[in-house]
Amino acid sequence: NSKLKRMSETVEEHTTTRRPTRAPEWDLGTLVRECLDSAAASYPIHGLVTRVWVDPRIGPLTGDRDAAAAAFTAVFENSLDAFLAARRGGRLTVSALLEGDQAVVEVMDDAGGISELAADQLFKPLFTTKSSLGGVGLALPMSRRLLERGGGTITLRSENGRTFARLEIPLRAGLPRV
């Protein structure tokens, strides 16, 4: 009985599948601004104009805040890296709309865009266009996986010198996708 009790306690201590009864709520607009401010503080770009708009119908979210923060940070830092490479300022615009049971966040920068070849590869681990800047090609693939685990996703496209990132984030916590 004592061995069985110790085994049961060990399993209980190391279980990672327990979830809180209710995930904590968080505000999308606040998180976007925090991530953007944090990223921008590391990138001194003269002439950068940022705008953030969040649909007021998007209430508190209970999905994975950390996954969303990682994805926003990856997208913002990639955009800011592009501005640094272009050696100029420009516009970085973030807008969030309510679509069904998800918040859809569109991030647009006019830093010059990315090639079609690179766009097809950006979500492959270890692919990077910024090896000279120290990039290792993990932020975007990891962000996509984190979002997909909770029912969201991230996509990128580029046209006419602008890059568009679309992040779909579930409003409510759910079971992770396996």
At residue 32, the pLDDT reads 97
The rounded distance, in Å, linking the Cα atoms of 128 and 133 is: 10
Helix-then-strand count for the chain, H and E: 5, 5
Pairing of the two strands 48-54 and 90-99: parallel
pLDDT band at 99 (very low <50, low <70, confident <90, very high): very high
pLDDT class of 135 with cuts at 50, 70, 90: low
**Could you tell me if 32 and 52 are in contact, meaning their C-beta atoms sit under 8 angstroms apart?**
yes
pLDDT tens digit string along 24-50? 899 999 999 999 999 999 988 999 999
pTM, two decimals, is 0.82
CA dihedral over 127, 133, 138, 142, signed as positive or negative = negative
